Chain A
Amino acid sequence: MKKYKDVVDLHDDHGRLVASNIPVAALSPLVNPAIQKIVAYVKQCVAVNLQGVQTALATGEVGGKWSMLRGRSTKVDLVGNAEAVARDLKETLQVKPKDDTEVKVLKEGKNLLVTVPAARLNAGVEYTTSATAVAAGLCHVIIEKFNVDMWDADLVHAAVWGRYPQTMDMLGGNVVSLLSVPQQNEGMGYALRNVLAAHIAMITRKNSMNAAALSSILEQTAHWEMGDAMGNFERFHLLGLAYQGLNADNVVYDIVKENAKTGNLGDCVKSTVKRAIADGVIRPLEKAKSGYTIYTTNDLNKWNAYAAAGLMAGTMVTCGAARAMQHTPSVFIYFNDLLERETGLPAVDFGRVAGTGVEMSFFSHSIYGGGNPAVFNGNHIVTRHSKGFCIPCVAAAVALDAGTTIYTPEKLSGVVGEVLSEVPELREPLKYVNEAAVKIKGEF
């Protein structure tokens, strides 16, 4: 990694100062221990819907919707024996005694949160190890513990793995990882971007600042993996993550606060420009005949980060005021349109966010199908074009929705969001990433 002189003040989700003059490099996914832990958890953590397995076995309804094996039924009390199942599953997954394997029983045995040991992932090359290990392990535990005979073992497999391997993924299965199977990634390095905004909102328990942070961490970290955050573009992503996702210098929170009571999207544009001028990021270049001032900058990456923070604040004010998520694409287009007309400088992601907004508005307003913003992710065909600056706003907007959609985030996310919200680093990423940055600040 190159050396960067940038320092930022870190703030929490309520806009309170946490630490001053922290090197922005300390927030890089390449070095920040909390971000690395978050990425590790995303790979290692798997949610098990134990109640789902039990019901599937009892009814023969396996492998997704409208799929039932009539006459097949195996009654096993998995929920009632959840503690024992968890214990056996842990033993099955463990590589060494006292390693990082963990199986937590949630919701009185209805769900399990399983942390697959890193050793298992290290012994392979695919992140799918976690889901496959848990699914296979659970099958063995159920068969052995409940004396399931050979003729019903296939039903156990279907109840746990779903329709796989007839399908590419575990369709209708009851073992779920936050990450989709690699075949569903749009290109190289897209794995961390293939996470529904609904999951992010549910994992962070609808705290929009943390939803923005978690989504930004996943999106921007993916850009290192994709080969985008390299060379002259590394600082672009680093500052984008710091300002838009992690509320660096409190820009996001300040702009929201300034417009919280009566402001609109246009006011957020003005607040962004005002802040960028005040912090010396942009300055007037020349005046045109009409009196219109063209602005310029010596640091386009920093301007982009400020614009991205303004975009986040604009989303929070607009979707927050309406308590509705559907405004996100409109914010993407018109925040950037207005910002470019206000300054004469390119807006967020140099036009890519505005372009993404155009597509997303079609696909999120039911004209051409699609779905509400909660089903979008950074791997989605219409939202993949921005370099990590759109989906954090979508995740924040989903968190702010009061229930305006037919398919709610709760319904879309299922057990994954609920179960993974038990992991503190995923639920409150802002806190942990800030703390980790403070710890390693001396290294830069």
Chain B
Amino acid sequence: MPEYKPQYYPGNTLPSQNRKKYLDPKYKLQKLRTISDDDLVRIMGHRVPGEAYKSTHPPLEETGEPACPIREIVTPTPGAKAGDRIRYIQFTDSVYFAPVTPYVRAWMYHTRYRGVDVGVLSGRVPLEARERDLEKVAKELVETEIFDSARCGIRGATVHGHALRLDENGLMFDAYRRYLFNKKTGEVDYVKDQIGVPLDKPISVGKPIPETDLRKRTSEFRVDGNAFRDDKELINWMQRIHMLRTIAGFDPEKVKGI
């Protein structure tokens, strides 16, 4: 039997290799900044720090569960076990060399985290999970290399700006001005939570990643960076899938050994 090694993503250009890296849960995402648990809770805005988790149903231990062989073997996440509400964190990623593209976010969430619900829209990627599970995941998403304080935004509403030019400080446009560039510290401060409700005090999410560094970390294809058309291997893969889907739709028996 041929040996199987998970491979995650085809392609031999830098963005492809970065995609592969981010999708591989064995690759430890590099930590670039520290955000306290309470500050993260404030930015998400679902509860006040220290407040108990609200629930959508009683804990599973109290309600009991219907007789189901899958429930018997699949362990619920801590949030599901406690009956937590399902809450979200949502990101907008700039088209200007942000570390991850929306689709890469979705793929990596599913290869790295358990029991998460993610969707990709034109300018935003919501991640939904049981509240305490979400907070754990969100920490990694904001503290590591896949987040840049200037070109990624934590935005619950009025998310557009991903395709607009950066401002004079290199920040992605945000109609709600949830975050500002602090000239004294050189860091980006959140002054509103993800929905746009003003915070009591600014929360720093660190310095923007320098452009040269971002270009190394990005998983975005751009004509002024690594053009998609330059990744022949990826294009071949894509054309292959398109061809096979089409042939299979006509007659699955015709796909043999190709």
Contacts and interface: CB of A to CB of B under 8 A. Distances in A.
Q: How large is the interface on B (under 10, 10 to 19, 20 to 34, 35 or more residues)?
A: 35 or more
B223 interface: no
A273 interface: yes
Given A337-B107, A344-B241, A321 B115 contact: yes
Interface string B34-54: 000000000000000000000
A61 B65 CA distance: 36
A400 interface: yes
B253 to A, nearest CB: 5
A297 interface: yes
B152 interface: no
B252 A344 contact: no
Given A290-B11, A402-B80, A320 B111 contact: no
Interface stretch (B1-9, B195-203, B208-216): B1-9
Contacts of B67: 205, 207
A270 interface: yes
Contacts of B240: 294, 344
Contacts of A296: 257-258
B64 to A, nearest CB: 10
A262 B252 contact: no
A14 interface: yes
A390 to B, nearest CB: 16
Nearest to A351: B245
B154 interface: no
Given A265-B110, A334-B106, A322 B66 contact: no
Nearest to B128: A326
Given A264-B112, A290-B10, A292-B7, A324 B74 contact: no
Contacts of A335: 110
Interface stretch (A73-81, A166-174, A276-284, A374-382): A276-284
Contacts of B248: 300, 304, 346, 350
Given A265-B111, A292-B10, A316 B236 contact: no
Contact of A293 (B7, B115, B257): B7
A104 interface: no
A233 interface: yes
B252 A301 contact: yes
A330 B70 contact: no
A206 B60 contact: no
A256 B74 contact: yes
B166 interface: no
Interface string A377-397: 000000000000000000010
Interface stretch (B92-100, B116-124, B171-179, B185-193): B116-124
B252 A322 contact: no
Contact of B66 (A205, A320, A404): A205
A292 B112 CA distance: 21
Given A322-B115, A322-B130, A342-B6, A289 B70 contact: no
B57 A402 contact: yes
| Residue from the set B70, B118, B249 with the largest chain A CB neighbour count within 10 Å | B70
A350 B113 contact: no
Contacts of B115: 264, 318-319, 321-322, 324, 327
Contacts of A342: 6-8
Contact of B56 (A205, A257, A403): A403
B117 A322 contact: yes
Interface in A322-348: 322-324, 326-327, 329-330, 333-335, 337-338, 340-342, 344-346
B30 interface: no
Given A232-B252, A346-B241, A334 B68 contact: no
A321 B77 contact: yes
B141 to A, nearest CB: 15
A233 B249 CA distance: 9
A320 B12 contact: no
Interface string B242-258: 00110011011101111
B257 A298 contact: yes
Contact of B68 (A301, A304, A365, A400): A400
| Residue from the set A206, A292, A327, A342 with the largest chain B CB neighbour count within 10 Å | A292
A296 B103 CA distance: 25
B17 interface: yes
Contacts of A266: 23, 25, 107, 110-112
Given A322-B80, A345-B244, A346-B244, A260 B75 contact: yes
Nearest to A341: B9
A265 B258 CA distance: 27
A404 B86 contact: yes
Contact of B70 (A208, A293, A350): A208
| Residue from the set B67, B86, B110 with the largest chain A CB neighbour count within 10 Å | B110
B71 interface: yes
Contact of A323 (B12, B60, B73, B257): B60
Nearest to A318: B115
Contacts of A319: 115
Interface in B58-92: 60, 63, 65-71, 73-77, 79-80, 83, 86
A320 B70 contact: yes
A323 B76 contact: yes
Interface string A190-226: 0000000000000001111100000000000000000
Interface of A: 13-15, 205-209, 232-233, 236, 253, 256-257, 260-267, 270, 273-274, 277-278, 283-285, 288-294, 296-301, 304, 316-324, 326-327, 329-330, 333-335, 337-338, 340-342, 344-346, 350-351, 361, 365, 396, 399-400, 402-404
Given A318-B116, A400-B71, A403-B63, 8 more contacts: A205-B67, A290-B10, A320-B71, A321-B76, A322-B77, A334-B106, A346-B244, A351-B245
9 contacts: A208-B69, A208-B71, A264-B111, A300-B255, A322-B129, A323-B60, A323-B76, A399-B66, A402-B80
Interface of B: 1-2, 4, 6-12, 16-17, 23, 25, 56-57, 60, 63, 65-71, 73-77, 79-80, 83, 86, 103, 106-107, 110-120, 126, 128-130, 133, 233, 236-237, 240-241, 244-245, 248-249, 251-253, 255-258
